[in-house]
Amino acid sequence: MASRQLRLTKFRDLRLSDPFFDSLKCGYVDFADWFARKADADVYVVEDDAAVLSGMIYLKPEQGAVSDVTPPLADLKWLKVGTLKIEGRGTKLGERVLKKIFDTAIDENMDGIYVTIFDVHEDLIRLFERYGFQRVGIKSWPRLFGQRPAGFKWIPAGLC
């Protein structure tokens, strides 16, 4: 089995035509436009020795209340897990990616982390819950194809 590396790059250095992105394009009608707008943004990717993508994490620091979740999240410094896709069932890749999320939140002195996960991704929901994330609300998002997104958050003990 080829080794996989987690590395930081820019969206502009990725190919939207890569088959890795097909499910994201199918699940989110505006994905290609969103991807293009993020050209200069940092993104973590997981690649093997042949540069085959098997993971992607887009992390975005945000300040303030998160009002597109019902009920809204408190006015804090949040690390938003903006886009996350991993292909690593049974390989501990999900845990490795979560460690990067936690490390980034700590390094950037964030008060909490939040992520929106569609209810069809049961394994991903279980992974986040296993590491202390709690389902706290429902995100308002009109362009879904029958999927219900749930908001999850993790806040270090003592903050809320």
Give the residue-averaged pLDDT of 102-129: 87
Burial of 67: CB neighbours in 10 Å, binned 0-12, 13-18, 19+: exposed
What is the value of pTM for the model shown? 0.84
* DSSP designation for 36: H
pLDDT tier, 158 (very low <50, low <70, confident <90, very high otherwise): very low
Give the pair of three-digit tokens for residue 151.
């908001």
Closest CA to 78 of 133, 126, 25, 39: 133
pLDDT of amino acid 152: 56
**Helix, strand, or coil (residue 139):** strand
Output 116 or 13, whichever has higher pLDDT: 13
Distance CA 2, CA 12 (A): 25
